[in-house]
Protein backbone atom coordinates (compact mmCIF):
# COMPACT_ATOMS: atom_id res chain seq x y z
CA UNK A 1 0.00 0.00 0.00
CA UNK A 2 0.99 3.63 -0.38
CA UNK A 3 1.95 5.02 3.02
CA UNK A 4 1.67 8.59 4.21
CA UNK A 5 3.03 8.86 7.77
CA UNK A 6 2.33 12.02 9.76
CA UNK A 7 4.71 12.60 12.68
CA UNK A 8 3.58 15.25 15.15
CA UNK A 9 6.19 17.06 17.23
CA UNK A 10 3.81 16.99 20.17
CA UNK A 11 5.38 19.43 22.62
CA UNK A 12 6.05 21.91 19.83
CA UNK A 13 2.32 21.83 19.07
CA UNK A 14 1.08 21.71 22.68
CA UNK A 15 3.29 24.46 24.11
CA UNK A 16 2.40 26.87 21.32
CA UNK A 17 -1.30 26.16 21.73
CA UNK A 18 -1.00 26.58 25.51
CA UNK A 19 0.75 29.94 25.04
CA UNK A 20 -2.17 31.17 22.92
CA UNK A 21 -4.69 30.02 25.53
CA UNK A 22 -2.70 31.53 28.40
CA UNK A 23 -1.90 34.88 26.79
CA UNK A 24 -5.20 36.70 27.58
CA UNK A 25 -4.70 35.99 31.29
CA UNK A 26 -1.08 37.10 31.63
CA UNK A 27 -1.84 40.54 33.01
CA UNK A 28 -1.11 39.03 36.39
CA UNK A 29 2.27 37.49 37.16
CA UNK A 30 0.69 34.19 38.16
CA UNK A 31 -2.53 32.52 37.10
CA UNK A 32 -5.17 31.86 39.72
CA UNK A 33 -6.08 28.22 40.25
CA UNK A 34 -9.47 28.57 38.56
CA UNK A 35 -7.85 30.34 35.63
CA UNK A 36 -5.25 27.57 35.32
CA UNK A 37 -8.04 24.99 35.15
CA UNK A 38 -9.81 26.94 32.43
CA UNK A 39 -6.63 27.48 30.42
CA UNK A 40 -5.76 23.78 30.69
CA UNK A 41 -9.26 22.74 29.65
CA UNK A 42 -9.10 25.08 26.66
CA UNK A 43 -5.62 23.79 25.78
CA UNK A 44 -6.72 20.15 25.78
CA UNK A 45 -9.71 21.00 23.58
CA UNK A 46 -7.58 23.07 21.22
CA UNK A 47 -4.94 20.33 20.94
CA UNK A 48 -7.58 17.78 20.03
CA UNK A 49 -9.07 20.15 17.47
CA UNK A 50 -5.60 20.78 16.04
CA UNK A 51 -5.03 17.05 15.68
CA UNK A 52 -8.32 16.66 13.81
CA UNK A 53 -7.40 19.52 11.48
CA UNK A 54 -3.98 18.00 10.84
CA UNK A 55 -5.51 14.63 9.99
CA UNK A 56 -8.10 16.30 7.76
CA UNK A 57 -5.56 18.43 5.89
CA UNK A 58 -2.90 15.73 5.48
CA UNK A 59 -5.06 12.61 4.94
CA UNK A 60 -2.42 10.28 6.39
CA UNK A 61 -2.57 6.51 6.44
CA UNK A 62 -0.52 6.41 9.65
CA UNK A 63 0.10 8.96 12.42
CA UNK A 64 2.01 9.24 15.67
CA UNK A 65 2.60 11.97 18.27
CA UNK A 66 6.18 12.09 19.58
CA UNK A 67 7.14 13.41 23.03
CA UNK A 68 10.47 14.19 24.67
CA UNK A 69 11.84 11.93 27.35
CA UNK A 70 10.89 12.98 30.88
CA UNK A 71 14.55 12.58 31.83
CA UNK A 72 17.30 14.89 30.53
CA UNK A 73 18.37 13.58 27.15
CA UNK A 74 21.88 12.37 26.25
CA UNK A 75 22.86 15.82 24.99
CA UNK A 76 22.96 17.15 28.55
CA UNK A 77 25.51 14.47 29.40
CA UNK A 78 28.02 15.81 26.89
CA UNK A 79 27.08 19.47 27.33
CA UNK A 80 25.42 20.44 30.64
CA UNK A 81 24.56 23.92 29.33
CA UNK A 82 22.36 22.50 26.57
CA UNK A 83 19.13 24.57 26.44
CA UNK A 84 20.32 26.50 29.50
CA UNK A 85 17.92 29.28 30.44
CA UNK A 86 15.09 28.05 28.26
CA UNK A 87 11.71 28.56 29.88
CA UNK A 88 10.49 25.32 31.40
CA UNK A 89 7.07 23.91 30.74
CA UNK A 90 4.62 25.03 33.45
CA UNK A 91 4.18 22.23 35.95
CA UNK A 92 0.39 22.34 35.68
CA UNK A 93 0.67 21.81 31.92
CA UNK A 94 3.15 18.95 32.31
CA UNK A 95 0.69 17.24 34.64
CA UNK A 96 -1.96 17.33 31.91
CA UNK A 97 0.11 15.85 29.08
CA UNK A 98 -1.41 12.42 29.74
CA UNK A 99 -4.88 13.92 29.24
CA UNK A 100 -3.79 15.33 25.90
CA UNK A 101 -2.34 11.94 24.95
CA UNK A 102 -5.68 10.37 25.88
CA UNK A 103 -7.46 12.90 23.65
CA UNK A 104 -5.12 11.98 20.79
CA UNK A 105 -5.74 8.30 21.41
CA UNK A 106 -9.51 8.81 21.24
CA UNK A 107 -8.81 9.93 17.70
CA UNK A 108 -6.67 6.84 17.02
CA UNK A 109 -3.32 8.65 17.21
CA UNK A 110 -0.96 7.03 19.69
CA UNK A 111 1.90 8.77 21.51
CA UNK A 112 5.52 7.73 21.92
CA UNK A 113 8.35 8.96 24.13
CA UNK A 114 11.84 7.56 24.49
CA UNK A 115 13.66 6.87 27.75
CA UNK A 116 16.58 9.17 26.95
CA UNK A 117 16.05 10.79 23.57
CA UNK A 118 14.29 13.92 22.40
CA UNK A 119 11.25 13.84 20.16
CA UNK A 120 13.51 15.27 17.43
CA UNK A 121 15.56 12.06 17.41
CA UNK A 122 12.51 9.80 17.45
CA UNK A 123 10.93 11.72 14.60
CA UNK A 124 14.14 11.64 12.58
CA UNK A 125 14.62 7.90 13.06
CA UNK A 126 11.04 7.17 11.99
CA UNK A 127 11.04 9.62 9.09
CA UNK A 128 14.26 8.28 7.59
CA UNK A 129 13.21 4.64 7.97
CA UNK A 130 9.92 5.24 6.16
CA UNK A 131 11.39 7.59 3.54
CA UNK A 132 14.05 5.03 2.63
CA UNK A 133 11.22 2.66 1.74
CA UNK A 134 10.02 5.22 -0.79
CA UNK A 135 7.03 6.24 1.32
CA UNK A 136 5.79 9.73 2.19
CA UNK A 137 6.41 11.40 5.55
CA UNK A 138 5.04 14.71 6.83
CA UNK A 139 6.58 16.17 9.98
CA UNK A 140 4.27 18.62 11.74
CA UNK A 141 6.50 21.10 13.56
CA UNK A 142 7.92 24.60 13.51
CA UNK A 143 11.28 23.34 14.81
CA UNK A 144 13.91 24.37 12.27
CA UNK A 145 16.01 21.23 12.81
CA UNK A 146 13.62 19.17 10.68
CA UNK A 147 14.32 21.35 7.65
CA UNK A 148 17.60 19.46 7.32
CA UNK A 149 15.57 16.32 6.51
CA UNK A 150 13.69 17.77 3.54
CA UNK A 151 13.78 15.38 0.59
CA UNK A 152 11.61 13.85 -2.10
CA UNK A 153 9.80 11.77 0.55
CA UNK A 154 9.98 14.02 3.64
CA UNK A 155 8.12 17.30 3.99
CA UNK A 156 7.68 19.66 6.94
CA UNK A 157 4.32 21.27 7.71
CA UNK A 158 3.81 24.38 9.85
CA UNK A 159 0.33 23.85 11.32
CA UNK A 160 0.09 27.35 12.78
CA UNK A 161 0.70 29.14 9.48
CA UNK A 162 -0.87 26.38 7.37
CA UNK A 163 2.11 26.09 5.06
CA UNK A 164 4.85 23.67 4.03
CA UNK A 165 8.39 24.69 4.90
CA UNK A 166 10.10 23.63 1.70
CA UNK A 167 13.50 24.01 0.02
CA UNK A 168 12.59 27.47 -1.21
CA UNK A 169 11.81 28.50 2.38
CA UNK A 170 15.23 27.23 3.46
CA UNK A 171 16.93 29.10 0.63
CA UNK A 172 15.17 32.36 1.46
CA UNK A 173 15.72 32.11 5.21
CA UNK A 174 19.21 30.59 5.40
CA UNK A 175 20.66 30.87 1.85
CA UNK A 176 21.83 27.24 1.86
CA UNK A 177 20.41 23.87 0.87
CA UNK A 178 18.56 21.76 3.50
CA UNK A 179 21.42 19.27 3.57
CA UNK A 180 23.82 22.11 4.53
CA UNK A 181 21.81 23.36 7.50
CA UNK A 182 23.52 21.30 10.19
CA UNK A 183 26.90 22.53 8.95
CA UNK A 184 25.56 26.09 8.97
CA UNK A 185 24.41 25.84 12.60
CA UNK A 186 27.64 24.13 13.62
CA UNK A 187 29.47 27.24 12.45
CA UNK A 188 26.99 29.84 13.72
CA UNK A 189 25.76 28.05 16.82
CA UNK A 190 22.10 27.57 17.70
CA UNK A 191 20.91 30.18 20.18
CA UNK A 192 17.56 28.42 20.65
CA UNK A 193 19.30 25.44 22.23
CA UNK A 194 22.23 27.43 23.65
CA UNK A 195 24.73 25.63 21.40
CA UNK A 196 27.73 27.92 20.74
CA UNK A 197 29.33 28.30 17.35
CA UNK A 198 32.60 29.71 16.06
CA UNK A 199 32.98 33.28 17.39
CA UNK A 200 32.30 36.06 14.85
CA UNK A 201 30.99 33.68 12.17
CA UNK A 202 27.41 34.71 11.57
CA UNK A 203 24.79 33.28 9.25
CA UNK A 204 25.75 35.32 6.20
CA UNK A 205 29.43 34.42 6.45
CA UNK A 206 28.67 30.75 7.20
CA UNK A 207 26.25 30.50 4.27
CA UNK A 208 28.77 32.08 1.89
CA UNK A 209 31.47 29.66 3.02
CA UNK A 210 29.22 26.62 2.63
CA UNK A 211 28.04 27.76 -0.78
CA UNK A 212 31.67 28.15 -1.81
CA UNK A 213 33.04 24.91 -0.36
CA UNK A 214 29.91 22.75 -0.25
CA UNK A 215 30.25 21.34 3.26
CA UNK A 216 31.84 21.92 6.63
CA UNK A 217 34.26 19.05 6.09
CA UNK A 218 35.42 20.51 2.78
CA UNK A 219 35.79 23.92 4.42
CA UNK A 220 37.92 22.54 7.26
CA UNK A 221 40.17 20.79 4.76
CA UNK A 222 40.47 23.66 2.28
CA UNK A 223 43.98 24.98 1.62
CA UNK A 224 42.98 28.34 0.17
CA UNK A 225 41.40 29.92 3.25
CA UNK A 226 42.47 33.30 4.55
CA UNK A 227 45.00 32.91 7.34
CA UNK A 228 42.69 34.55 9.89
CA UNK A 229 39.82 32.18 9.09
CA UNK A 230 42.08 29.12 9.04
CA UNK A 231 43.43 30.08 12.46
CA UNK A 232 39.95 30.72 13.85
CA UNK A 233 38.66 27.33 12.70
CA UNK A 234 41.75 25.59 14.05
CA UNK A 235 41.40 27.28 17.43
CA UNK A 236 37.79 26.11 17.77
CA UNK A 237 38.09 22.54 16.50
CA UNK A 238 36.83 21.07 19.77
CA UNK A 239 33.86 23.43 19.84
CA UNK A 240 33.02 22.58 16.23
CA UNK A 241 33.03 18.86 17.00
CA UNK A 242 30.92 19.34 20.13
CA UNK A 243 28.36 21.51 18.34
CA UNK A 244 28.17 19.05 15.47
CA UNK A 245 27.52 16.20 17.91
CA UNK A 246 24.79 18.16 19.70
CA UNK A 247 23.09 19.16 16.46
CA UNK A 248 23.21 15.76 14.79
CA UNK A 249 19.85 13.99 14.89
CA UNK A 250 19.87 10.29 15.72
CA UNK A 251 18.83 7.80 13.04
CA UNK A 252 19.19 4.58 15.01
CA UNK A 253 16.76 4.59 17.94
CA UNK A 254 15.18 1.13 18.52
CA UNK A 255 11.45 1.66 18.05
CA UNK A 256 9.88 -1.65 19.05
CA UNK A 257 6.87 -1.41 16.73
CA UNK A 258 6.03 -1.38 13.03
CA UNK A 259 3.79 0.72 10.83
CA UNK A 260 0.73 -1.47 11.17
CA UNK A 261 0.64 -0.56 14.88
CA UNK A 262 0.01 3.12 14.10
CA UNK A 263 -2.22 2.72 11.06
CA UNK A 264 -5.33 4.85 11.15
CA UNK A 265 -8.72 3.05 11.23
CA UNK A 266 -9.78 3.91 7.70
CA UNK A 267 -6.91 1.74 6.49
CA UNK A 268 -7.55 -1.31 8.64
CA UNK A 269 -8.53 -3.42 5.66
CA UNK A 270 -5.14 -2.91 4.04
CA UNK A 271 -1.69 -4.13 4.91
CA UNK A 272 1.53 -2.17 5.31
Q: Which residues are annotated as a binding site for K(+)?
A: 187, 196, 198, 201
| CA separation, residue 252 to residues 121, 125, 248 (Å) | 9, 6, 12
Radius of gyration of the chain (CA): 20
Distance (Å, whole) CA 175 – CA 211: 8
Q: Are 18 and 35 in contact (CB under 8 A)?
A: no
| Parallel/antiparallel/unpaired status of strands 154-158 and 4-9 | unpaired
Identify which of 185, 125, 130 has the alpha carbon closest to the alpha carbon of residue 154. Answer: 130
Distance (Å, whole) CA 148 – CA 257: 25
User: CB neighbours of 12 closer than 8 A, spacing ≥ 6?
Assistant: 119, 141, 142, 143
Residue positions forming the annotated binding site: 120, 187, 196, 198, 201
Distance (Å, whole) CA 75 – CA 44: 30
Distance (Å, whole) CA 188 – CA 71: 28
Identify which of 187, 247, 196 has the alpha carbon closest to the alpha carbon of residue 81. Answer: 196
| CA separation, residue 118 to residues 103, 163, 188 (Å) | 22, 24, 22
Q: Are 263 and 62 in contact (CB under 8 A)?
A: yes
Residue positions forming the annotated binding site for Mg(2+): 120
Amino acid sequence: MSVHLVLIDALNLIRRIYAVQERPFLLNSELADNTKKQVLFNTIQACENALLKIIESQSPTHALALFDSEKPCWRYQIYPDYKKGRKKMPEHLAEKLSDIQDAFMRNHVDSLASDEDEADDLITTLAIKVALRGQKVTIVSTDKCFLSLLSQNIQVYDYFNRRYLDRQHVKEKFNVKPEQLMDLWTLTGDSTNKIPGVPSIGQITAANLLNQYGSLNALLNANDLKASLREKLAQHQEQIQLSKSLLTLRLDIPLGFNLKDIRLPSNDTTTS
